[in-house]
Amino acid sequence: MSKEDKRKDLGITEKKEENFGEWFSEVIIKSGFADYSPIKGCIYYLPPAIYAWEQTIKYTDELFASIGVENVYLPLFIPERLFEKEADHIEGFQPEVAWIENKDDNSERLAIRPTSETLFSELFSRVVRSYKDLPVKYNQWCSVVRWETSAVKPFLRGREFLWQETHAVYVNEEEAMKDVLKVLDFYVQIAEDLFCIPVFKGRKSEREKFAGAVKTFGIEGIMPDGKSAQLGTTHYLGTGFAKVFEISFLDENNESKLVHQASWGISTRFLGAAIMLHSDNKGVVLPPKLLKHKVVIVPIVFKGKDFVLDKAREIKEMLDDGYLNPILDDRDYSPGWKFNEWELKGIPIRIEVGPRDVKNEQVVAVLRHSGENLTLKWNNLKQEIYQLLDKIKEELFERAKRLQEKFLDEAKTIDEFEKKLKQNKIVKVHFCDNPECEEKVKEKYGVSSRLIVDEKPGKCIFCNKTSKYVAYFGKSY
């Protein structure tokens, strides 16, 4: 079946367990979350995706506000002279940067932001004068462009995507690191509480850390195909940008000191990972909070039974509290057709009302994530709906947790490591954290370190040198 034929087919034609990549593309397109645009690597973000992203923004902003982060917005364009100031940074991002010619300013090229360390640093050099000004913590919600991408996967990897990036300056390393690790815990909370994605957290290796960072930390979630998805990173940047951009302050002794910098970010990759992890062959499954409509009411109407539709309208009015946002589907389609459509779109709870239900003062509730059928009485319906939404969230997380446990493993020898990689595992091993050693592992096995998760004495299983680190290795998105 061609891609165009698949678009015309209303249901999902690929199986998650058979053709994971094609299945994912079908789910996000046919459910109405996104579609491919005419520009390679860029997608249309449609209303359900934007709603989920808005909930992410709201949830994240509340966490950030607790540590004094404020929202700002910086220009999309970065002058080349600023971008080139930080050599390590531009070297790390050079393949990803999209450039445009700027004929209005002595032909200086402008970079379309792949990230905004340079502009934030230039801004900090203006606003910081004294230790009394510190810390300064600015966040922006925006889009960024990473031009080098070849394997496009909507929400997970593309040329343009939505994200938040926070940049902050501090008096010393201790204060900066405190926030770097605090926000890492925020990201775990976002993953597990909002997206129902269990994650593991740790430090990125020297090879995998962010360009220009002293230390990078992250969280990763395991997808159903056994690959790891990086979902959020935090960085201690030291004083490197401060030296280049002259971000200094007068301390209590009136001596000039360089600020210490940190940054952190998450993106719409969270949404892609959640769809990939929770959804099935019928369509989207997501935690209820990420969906605008938590309930759809489908009246089972027979000729001469208009009282059923009247009762369905009454139920909709009762549930319509600004959060549940129930849909009443009274269209002239068969109930089965409606069931399939709302399962495709991922509405968490379907309420069915027929003549017998009206007679018995009850409804049938069907849970999208499990297919479970429940009979609920009218007199306590709203409260029971809220309890079911909590149940859905809990069961999605527990199901994902079992999947994570299936794919995470450990190895003490290179033979064990090779065997478990063939089983699509993410494997925990002793590792020296030498970039040259990791490069050889990448070349031989096609995997990289995901995160360093522990420190204890041992020997690197790859080079047999003394090691004090324990890291997960595996394939990733």
Q: What integer best gives the mean pLDDT of the chain?
A: 93
Report DSSP state, residue 382.
H
Is residue 69 over pLDDT 90? Answer: yes
Look up residue 1 and give its two tokens. Answer: 């079946």
What DSSP letter does each residue of 430-451 carry, written as one string? EE---HHHHHHHHHHHS-EEEE
pLDDT band at 96 (very low <50, low <70, confident <90, very high): confident
CA 140 to mean position of chain CA atoms: 16
Is residue 90 over pLDDT 70? Answer: no
Q: How far is CA 129 from CA 170, 174, 314, 344, in A?
A: 12, 20, 62, 55
pLDDT band at 89 (very low <50, low <70, confident <90, very high): low
Is residue 103 over pLDDT 90? Answer: no
Q: Which of residues 105 and 435 earns the better pLDDT score?
A: 435
162 half-sphere exposure, CB direction, 13 A CA radius: 18
In this structure, the number of other CB atoms found within 10 A of the CB of residue 2 comes to 7
**Could you give the CA distance from residue 101 to residue 207 in angstroms, rounded to a whole number?**
33
Quick check: bond before 135 cis, omega within 30?
yes
- Give residue-wise pLDDT tens across range 200-221: 999 999 999 998 899 999 999 9
What confidence score (pLDDT) does residue 18 get? Answer: 95
How much is the average pLDDT of 373-381? 95
CA 423 to mean position of chain CA atoms: 26
Is residue 250 over pLDDT 50? Answer: yes
pLDDT band at 420 (very low <50, low <70, confident <90, very high): very high
Is residue 312 over pLDDT 80? Answer: yes
CA 287 to mean position of chain CA atoms: 13
Q: Are strands 466-474 and 295-299 parallel, antiparallel or unpaired?
A: unpaired
**Could you give the CA distance from residue 474 to residue 218 in angstroms, rounded to a whole number?**
15
- Which domains, ranges and CATH numbers included, belong to the chain? 9-278 (3.30.930.10), 293-391 (3.40.50.800), 407-474 (3.30.110.30)
What confidence score (pLDDT) does residue 97 get? Answer: 86
- Give residue-wise pLDDT tens across range 258-282: 999 999 999 999 999 999 999 999 9
For the ranges 256-270, 300-314, 319-333, the lowest mean pLDDT is seen at 300-314
Alpha helices, H only, 249-363 = 269-278, 306-319, 335-345, 355-359
368, 349 contact by CB (below 8 A)? yes
Nearest alpha carbon to residue 157 among 139, 145, 141, 142: 145
316, 328 contact by CB (below 8 A)? yes
Percent of the chain with pLDDT over 90: 85
How much is the average pLDDT of 321-350? 96
Please name every residue paired with 454 in a beta bridge, in sequence order, or none if there are none: 470
In this structure, the number of other CB atoms found within 10 A of the CB of residue 226 comes to 18
What confidence score (pLDDT) does residue 21 get? Answer: 92
In this structure, the number of other CB atoms found within 10 A of the CB of residue 444 comes to 10
**Could you give the CA distance from residue 404 to residue 401 in angstroms, rounded to a whole number?**
5
**Could you give the CA distance from residue 402 to residue 198 in angstroms, rounded to a whole number?**
9
**Could you give the CA distance from residue 223 to residue 400 in angstroms, rounded to a whole number?**
9
Report DSSP state, residue 476.
B
Is residue 1 over pLDDT 50? Answer: no
127, 251 contact by CB (below 8 A)? no
Report DSSP state, residue 191.
I
**Could you give the CA distance from residue 352 to residue 366 in angstroms, rounded to a whole number?**
8
How much is the average pLDDT of 90-106? 72
What confidence score (pLDDT) does residue 214 get? Answer: 96
129, 246 contact by CB (below 8 A)? no
How much is the average pLDDT of 285-304? 94
3-state SS, residue 459? strand
| 62 burial level (CB within 10 Å; 0-12, 13-18, 19+) | exposed
Q: Phi and psi of 4, rounded to 5°? A: -65, -40
271, 52 contact by CB (below 8 A)? yes
